[in-house]
A and B are shown apart, each in its own frame.
Chain A
Amino acid sequence: MYEFRMPLLGADMESGLLVEWLIQSGQKVKRGDIVAVVETEKGAVDVEIWESGVVDTLLVPPGTEVPVGGIMATLRAEGEAAAVPTEAVSAAPSIAPAAPAPPPRVPAAAPDPAAAAAHYKVSPAARRRAEQLGVDLSGVTPSGPERVVSLADVERAAQGATAPAPPIPDKQEAMRQAIATAMAKSKREIPHYYLGSSIDITRAIDWLAEENRKRSIKDRVLLAAVLLRAVVLALRDVPELNGLWVDKRFQHSDAVHLAVGIALRGGGLIAPAIRDAQLKAVPELMASLSDLIRRARGGGLRSSELTDATVTVTNLGEQGVETVYGVIYPPQVALVGFGRVSERPWVVDGAVLARKVIYATLSADHRASVGHRGALFLAGLERLLQEPEKLA
């Protein structure tokens, strides 16, 4: 009998709220199937199962907060006898939320005229619950900082709440706490070393502009996708930067599950992974990146995207900073940072020219690699970016 447990969907996670089961007792499932929707501080996640078999018993009802590692269901192999029937839980969700909604602490703000146009996104979990409860989504105002209608918002509306939505700080505070826990753990446990390098990126930018001229607007590629490709290729030569530190040793990964730091509207941060990035050329990386950003901000990330990352890239150049030395996400062992592209005087063949330059950094776990190897990675990255047509 296989025990399906609440997965760790981020280094910071302590528990998740089971929103909905997408399977029922007796159903056949295969590895990779989405079996449940779990709400975390960063939004609703579609959780996949990593075993194949037949669903035996759903042990936890929807609406329950389950600690990471807590057992949620059992799975049996085909042909294995079913467990002695205990009080099995039906797949129909219960309506009562896990905790009563807190009373509002501040009076409602004056209605925002732009908000009256109701351009609100709705999380997938909220949409399903609204259907089940018969709630009209156009009348629901999101309370969270993302301005995305959440499960809690729908349940409040269903209870006929005419009181104003709870204050925004609640969800923002939870997100802040989650990030605080993860970052504190990283700095406590990982001996970081830091390396940085200025890279002349003029050729890559010119090549990209030429490529984009040939493409329709929907197929345009951002510089970020080119940088991600270069990172993936550079990791081939320094494999001790791609993998996980587990049980006091480094586990190298052949696959590069490349996590990308994505800023959430309202001030949060999440780093879901592009799985098997090593198999994707630049246009596919761009499509994956677009899709990931859309789902990170609007709901629909899969649990494997949050658990399987082998390395992370963070790109804060948009905000104007030149350099970012990031904090590694445990159990990964490296984080690559890119600052903004700026025009600099640069020496090319003995003459001073105006060139577009970007500052690339590596934060790495000194238990898994030494500075010399980190330096080889950055040197490889620089070399790759001088021949962008070979990256494609």
Chain B
Amino acid sequence: MNTDEIRQALIDALAEIAPEGDFVALKADRPVREQLDIDSYDFLRWMIALNERLGVEIPEADYPKLTTLNGAIDYLAAAASTSKR
């Protein structure tokens, strides 16, 4: 999966959780939770959706790495490349 596909998967999953969000204007380098009205329950749902879409299980300790969209893309790209071995 390339970064564009990862980015789309992230946004699609987020759009199901926060359907009113403006994903065109979403800044990739600022925390997602500052830009969208997402609580810890929503964030957990996002992690579960990513697990279902991308097969990546994200430990709680790694949540801080997924604060921004860019952070999430980098994390998932790295996770995907390590699992390919």
Contact = CB atoms under 8 A, between A and B. Distances in A.
Contact of A318 (B22, B39, B51, B57): B39
A212 B47 CA distance: 14
Contact-residue size bin, chain B (C-beta under 8 Å from the other chain): 20 to 34
A112 B60 CA distance: 34
Interface in A134-170: 145-148
Interface residues of A, number: 28
Contacts of A249: none
A222 B57 contact: no
A147 B48 CA distance: 22
Interface string A110-150: 00111001011100000000000000000000000111100
25 contacts: A112-B22, A113-B24, A114-B15, A114-B23, A119-B19, A121-B19, A147-B19, A209-B61, A213-B59, A217-B48, A217-B57, A218-B48, A218-B51, A220-B44, A220-B60, A222-B40, A222-B44, A223-B40, A224-B40, A224-B41, A263-B39, A265-B19, A265-B37, A290-B41, A318-B39
A235 interface: no
B77 interface: no
A145 B47 CA distance: 25
Given A112-B22, A114-B24, A217 B41 contact: no
A228 interface: no
B47 A217 contact: yes
Interface in B22-44: 22-24, 37, 39-41, 44
A364 interface: no
Interface in A309-338: 318
